[in-house]
Structure 1
């Protein structure tokens, strides 16, 4: 019995979620729980099946377990970050306390992570926050421009000198949140709260990984950033004026 047999549709909610996890008991429980919450959840029990489903249909979000019987979840995350699946948000499930996998997963393009075991309502909150970010962005039409940097909120594209720079969905949301508050010092906790819609642990360092990836995409020299400045012990500032240019 494959995981894809577990389906519960709800016509009044368009969000379709794909769960790639070989834990059939967890899959069945989440189909029921998230179905009651108004989501349509389809489950794949192998990496091969999950990748095929991801490429064949449209999804609001993919929930990806790193421990799969036939594939490395990190490799699968990398594959999902190209082609037709490149812009689908990915919520990564990781073993408890495995910080290395979480960091690597974020660097490969995951938008968020959740350690196992977890409370179903926490998973639901994470899903809701990710989908809410996407809905919020559709209502924001005006592009943000800072010198040579342009953030097109409608197309969800980042450009420097007119050249497209690749960012994950989470990283784009994070960059926009900072740009909208240019010149203000923002702590890690404030940034996570703005983008995720919830406050995480004060010592969570995943935000630093995302900032590093954003800098690699938009800074002329990521080691000497002029757009996103670090204030040691305080947080980050998105510069109003960059490279001597006016906003």
Structure 2
């Protein structure tokens, strides 16, 4: 079972070898991460600026812009403390030292164990949890501290209850949530004064706002049970 605390963490995998990139992606998705990909350094920089991922898995020998330059750009130009794990064939001690001096949080040498890489990613994320104040899943991004919601980078204007609903769904993707569960979570201290019908109304309004941005019905009704938030 994926760790619920790590579900919705966005990972950008920067690797020019498609087979390695896909292997890492498969393992990450099994663990509940939201995965983006880049095949060269320039593409990585664009996606970092656009999506601000929670962690960067970075090859060093990349086309167009090297991994070292991407790391330097993240730390010096963006002034970002985004966690970075370097995944590279550069195994020499001087390379590892340089990587850490550039700002890497961990350094993994190829060939590598995908299972071990997952453990290292989890360890880095736990150690740097304060650096990522957002939740992402299938194109949705929530920044709870700022009260911001986005779909594919576009702002989504939500009421307080709609925001709480989407937050709850994104924390439990693919899981059927009963009206009672939703009621207890959203209304906490005042659930006795609110009917389950109120939940249906809020979900209806949330669905309508989402459909203004995308045609897919991400919140599905499960007859006799409740609602489920689904991905692609």
Q: 1:49 aligns with which of 37, 43, 63?
A: 43
Check whether the contact 1:94–1:114 (CA below 8 A) recurs between aligned residues.
yes
> Residue 58 of structure 2 corresponds to which residue in structure 1?
64
Native 8 Å contact 1:17 1:41 kept in 2: yes
**Gap regions ≥5 residues in structure 1:** 1-9, 139-247
What secondary structure sits across from 1:70 in the alignment?
coil
Task: Report the alpha carbon displacement of residue 13 of structure 1 after superposing the two structures with TM.
Answer: 1.3
Check if 1:107 corresponds to 2:101.
yes
By how many angstroms is 1:85 displaced?
5.9
| Number of the residue aligned with 1:130 | 124
Within 2, Cα distance between the matches of 1:116 and 1:99?
14
Instruction: Provide the C-alpha distance between the structure 1 equivalents of 2:55 and 2:12, rounded to a whole number of angstroms.
Output: 7
Which residue, 77, 80, 84 being the options, matches 1:86? 80
Residue 97 of structure 1 is aligned with which of 58, 66, 91?
A: 91
The counterpart of 1:33, out of the listed 27, 32, 39, is: 27
Stretches of 4+ aligned residues off by more than 2 angstroms:
82-85, 134-138
- TM-score normalised to structure 1 length: 0.48
Provide the C-alpha distance between the structure 2 equivalents of 1:115 and 1:55, rounded to a whole number of angstroms.
27
Structure with the larger RCO, 1 or 2 (CA within 8 Å, 6+ apart): 2
Inter-partner Cα distance in structure 2 for 1:31 and 1:94? 16
- Work out which of the residue numbers 100, 112, 115 in structure 2 matches 1:118: 112
The 3-state SS of whatever aligns with 2:128 is helix
Task: Name the CA shift for 1:137/1:106 in 2 (closer, same or farther; >3 Å).
Answer: closer
Of residues 14, 18, 32 in structure 1, which corresponds to 2:12? 18
Instruction: Summarize the alignment of residues 140-151 of structure 1 with structure 2, pairs less than 5 Å apart.
Output: none
Offset at 1:137?
Answer: 8.9
Listed as ranges, the gaps of 5+ residues in structure 2 are 133-232
Call closer, same or farther: CA 1:121–1:85 in 2, change over 3 Å: farther
In 2, Cα distance between equivalents of 1:136 and 1:109: 17
